[in-house]
Amino acid sequence: MVKRAIFHIILLEMLILGTVYKYAMAEDVKLIEEITVPEGVSSPGEVRVDKRGNVWFTEKVGKSIVLYEPEKKRFTPHRIPEEWGNVGPEKFTIAEDGTIWFSVRRWAEDVERTDFLGRLLPEEGRFERYDLKGGHIPEEMVVDGEGNVWFIDVNANRLGRFNPKDSSVEVFTIPTPNAYPRGLVMDDSGNIWFAEANSNRIARFSVRDRRFEEYEIPTPLFNPVAVSVDDEGRVWFAGLSANKIGVFYPERKVFNELIIPTPRGLPNSLAIDGDGIVWFVEYLGNKVGRFDPVTARIDEYPIPTFNSLPGSIVVDRVRERVWFAETSTEAKKLGTVDIKRVSEALEKTGAIAPAEEEGTPLQEKNRHSGWIFVALGVVIIGVAVYLYSTRKKSVR
């Protein structure tokens, strides 16, 4: 009798936890679409979307920057000039005028120079090369409103500014040595933000004051990489080692964070849509994640292709989609999610939680909901232990 009661209690706990798990995961609906890149084009590396809604990506092991036009389902590779040497595109950004600035990587067996910036003029299909005085090796970059290219020189631990008008270079040394800066972005005020992967900090560079500010992340070994700033000025970042998404509130100088449900998911890229929803990819978890800061709800969507090694996710505000690269050389695909369709699916299943007061720290929301389930588990286990001990006494 007691065994049966314990069995029913355990079954009840499993059902409750199963309901909680279903709440934390979206309905199993095919929400991710995949587009296979054509023969002759390698796996996507980094992805961007221009103002017209054109999708651009670099080849992971090739020498082209590729244009994909979703409505026409057409791929157009733009190959780097052969006279530039045995190099391929690495990181890139799209300026307001639609031109593409990029850095290059060299093949392992070669010693080609990479101390230059490349520019692609899409309308003309023409490339331009700009050698950087001083031997700076750019990686990630952003373009400001005046057309200046700001770049990270990782090996030298510096932030650089390149002026295309006169080819001048201005450099600024990051205060913390060996910071390993990653995830360069610019906010609406023209300030530059980036993560310091080695020193476990988020940094801000004031373009106006030419001054750095560094903020230490409370969680040790967070290993921050990708960075994105939302419309309210909050700075979001992915933590590889911590398996978390973090957020920094600049005005309050406060950090918050959320745990990725999938263990060792390895979040490596994130982007913010027009409603403030945080989208991210899990490199090892092989999932696309969605986090709503208002309700503190997180959902994960498995990518159909096994072990696709997703990376570089971006928001397409023209079509209200997110695009991401499936970087596995066996996958060779672009992935995309219809933002509206996801919202409709969540509403249909009643999975979207009621909105809470804005401004509530994420950890507080997660802590409150977490304690409910912890308390429930304690009660159920306590009842099971009590029934078991009562059974032992009756036997005696």
> Stretch 198-208: mean pLDDT, rounded?
97
93 pairs with which residues across the strands? 101
Positive or negative, the CA dihedral 98, 102, 107, 113 is positive
Distance of CA 31 to the CA centre of its chain: 19
The confidence score (pLDDT) of residue 384 equals 52
Top-confidence residue, 334 or 383: 334
- Locate tokens 């952003």: which residue? 142
Q: Which CATH class is domain 80-173?
A: mainly beta
Question: Taking the model in full, what pTM does it have?
Answer: 0.82
Closest CA to 79 of 58, 108, 101: 58
3-state secondary structure the chain: CHHHHHHHHHHHHHHHHHHHHHHHCCCCCCCEEEEECCCCCCCEEEEEECCCCCEEEEECCCCEEEEEECCCCEEEEEECCHHHCCEEEEEEEECCCCCEEEEEEECCCCCCCCCEEEEEECCCCEEEEEECCCCCCCCCEEECCCCCEEEEECCCCEEEEEECCCCEEEEEECCCCCCCEEEEEECCCCCEEEEECCCCEEEEEECCCCEEEEEECCCCCCCEEEEEECCCCCEEEEECCCCEEEEEECCCCEEEEEECCCCCCCEEEEEECCCCCEEEEECCCCEEEEEECCCCEEEEEECCCCCCCEEEEEEECCCCEEEEEECCCCCCEEEEEEHHHHHHHHHHCCCCCCCCCCCCCHHHHHHHHHHHHHHHHHHHHHHHHHHHHHHHHHHC
> How many other C-beta atoms are found inside a 10 Å radius of the C-beta of residue 10?
13
- Radius of gyration in angstroms for the set of CA atoms belonging to the chain, rounded to a whole number: 24
Please give the mean pLDDT across all residues of the chain: 85
Let me know the angle formed at the C-alpha of 339 by 35 and 29, rounded to the nearest 5 degrees: 70
pLDDT for residue 5 is more than 90: no
With beta carbons less than 8 A apart as the criterion, state whether 265 and 259 touch.
no
Top-confidence residue, 378 or 282: 282
> Stretch 95-112: mean pLDDT, rounded?
83
The confidence score (pLDDT) of residue 15 equals 33
Q: What is the pLDDT of residues 303-322, one digit of tens each?
A: 999 999 999 999 999 999 99
Closest CA to 315 of 296, 294, 288: 288
Q: What is the pLDDT of residues 210-225, one digit of tens each?
A: 999 999 999 999 999 9
The confidence score (pLDDT) of residue 389 equals 57
The confidence score (pLDDT) of residue 30 equals 79
With beta carbons less than 8 A apart as the criterion, state whether 324 and 311 touch.
yes
Q: In whole angstroms, give the CA distance from residue 305 to residue 332.
A: 10
Q: In whole angstroms, give the CA distance from residue 161 to residue 120.
A: 19
- Residue 147: pLDDT band (50, 70, 90) is very high
Closest CA to 260 of 288, 235, 232, 233: 288
- What are the structure tokens assigned to 15, written together? 């059902």
Distance of CA 334 to the CA centre of its chain: 15
Q: Which residues in 112-131 are b (16+ Cβ under 10 Å) and which e? A: eebebbbbbebeeeebeebe
> Stretch 323-343: mean pLDDT, rounded?
95
Q: What is the pLDDT of residues 277-292, one digit of tens each?
A: 999 999 999 999 999 9
Q: In whole angstroms, give the CA distance from residue 100 to residue 50.
A: 9
> Stretch 317-329: mean pLDDT, rounded?
95
pLDDT for residue 392 is more than 80: no
With beta carbons less than 8 A apart as the criterion, state whether 22 and 15 touch.
no
Residues 6+ apart with CB under 8 A from 351: 23, 26, 27, 297, 299
Q: What is the pLDDT of residues 7-48, one digit of tens each?
A: 344 333 433 333 333 334 444 457 999 999 999 999 999 999
Largest CA distance in the chain: 93
Domain regions of the chain by residue span? 1-26+362-396, 80-173
- What are the structure tokens assigned to 198, written together? 């080695």
- What are the structure tokens assigned to 300, written together? 């994960």
